[in-house]
Amino acid sequence: MNAPVLNFDLESRVDGDRAVVTVIGDFDLQVAQRVVNELTKVEEGGPALLIIDLSRLSFLDSAGMGVIAAAQARATESGRELAVVRPPYSVRRAFEVSGFGEVINVVDDIEAT
């Protein structure tokens, strides 16, 4: 039996004291643990700024939102800054409606961080 085809990819890179994790495609329950694992790996390097780039995201469900919320909590606890870059309108709207937009730093440009 073939494995399901996912509309998902994940990239990460470290530039000095900032780390960028880019989520591409659908960020849902099916892939949430993969994103958690990547964030954990990147956080172990102790970057002063963690950027979650959602500019190429097509979908985010509550599991994905929970992963971002947990990353924000860990960042606050460790004194690290966290920024979310350019989520699609529907995701940005969900952040606003839920009040999550008050907690996280959402920016339009990765260079603005």
CA distances, 5 to each of 11, 52, 74, 88 (Å):
18, 24, 31, 22
CA distance 56 to 66: 19
Per-residue pLDDT tens over the stretch 55-64 = 999 999 999 9
> What is the tally of helices (H) and strands (E) in the chain?
3, 5
Per-residue pLDDT tens over the stretch 27-85 = 999 999 999 999 999 999 999 999 999 999 999 999 999 999 999 999 999 999 999 99
Retrieve residue 62's tokens: 């509550």
Confidence of residue 12 (pLDDT cuts 50, 70, 90): very high
Give the domains, in start order, of the chain with CATH numbers. Answer: 8-107 (3.30.750.24)
CA distance 10 to 30: 13
Confidence of residue 112 (pLDDT cuts 50, 70, 90): confident
pTM listed for this prediction: 0.93
Q: Which residue has the tokens 């907690």?
A: 103
Confidence of residue 111 (pLDDT cuts 50, 70, 90): confident
